[in-house]
Amino acid sequence: MSMTTVLRTIAEVRAHRAGHTGPFVLVPTMGALHAGHLSLAARGLEIPGATVMATIFVNPLQFAEGEDLEAYPRTVEEDIGKLSELGVDYVFIPRTSEIYPHGTRTVIHPGPAGQTLEGGSRPTHFAGVLTVVNKLFNITRPTHAIFGEKDYQQLVLIRQMVEDLNMEVEIIGGPIVREDSGLAMSSRNKYLSADEAAQAVALSEALAAGAEHTSVDEILAAARERIAAEPAAKLDYLELRSPDLGEPQVGENRLLIAAQVGKPRLLDNRAVFVEQL
């Protein structure tokens, strides 16, 4: 096992980055690492000749007032151990003052695609996400960056930002990693009791129920029927969108759900095939 080098300042990152000419892969996280995060880093390590840098930064800009910024799980030493065991080369763990020395000034607006779904409930969230991702790209200059499909809207918006702002980085989406029960892995699952974790499986089961059908109406009806059968799941949205979050189309689409179970608000999604609009 090679020890992961821990970097805490932008100057340190740039000094180490300067010594690498091959593929340089960035895996941004907020820590509290689980098997889903580690699968993203493992994907980076599969790229021939790649140097992999993870980041651990709980980004205050993507949390609105009253959200769980202070309570968000923080397990930094454990996270470093997991990354070292995997063979990740670097982990960048900056203080908030290192990333935002002047507080909140310049931000990146996500456009219309950031105002629906998650953006409808959390209108400032994606501006915070895109701003910190842009900063991390500028600091680390990656050739590749890997993000999980569990936060599907985030992945779409990061790809949009890269295209619209002419960034020279390849964005790779990593498949959702699930518990044995089918529950999508999330750092916020730590908030769930055993009973709530069992109830939260309704999200993935609703998506699976929808995926058994091929018309838009039947997909949504089946998914809604399953989530409605679990009273502990307080549904925020259940929507069928095209892969770029537009209106459903014939072919592959994405079925997305958000619901609160107990304390945490949980997200999930899956690809579904539509034959009839």
Element containing residue 43 per DSSP (H, E): helix 35-45
Q: Rg of the chain's alpha carbons, rounded to an integer? A: 19
69, 122 in Cβ contact below 8 A? no
The residue annotated as part of the active site, out of 16, 20, 37, 213, is 37
- Answer whether 162's CB lies under 8 Å from 138's CB: no
Binding site feature residues:
30-37, 62, 148-151, 154, 177, 185-188
Structure tokens at 77: 């030493």
Sheet strands side by side (includes 233-241)? 233-241, 251-261, 265-274
Whether 37 is catalytic: yes
d(CA 128, CA 140): 18
Strand partners, 52: 25
- What is the C-alpha separation between 140 and 251, in angstroms, rounded? 37
Residues that constitute the known binding site for ATP: 30-37, 148-151, 177, 185-188
Alpha-carbon gap, residue 190 to 262, rounded angstroms: 11
- The three-state secondary structure class of 5 is strand
Known binding-site positions for beta-alanine: 62
Annotated binding site for (R)-pantoate: 62, 154
The residues that are catalytic are 37
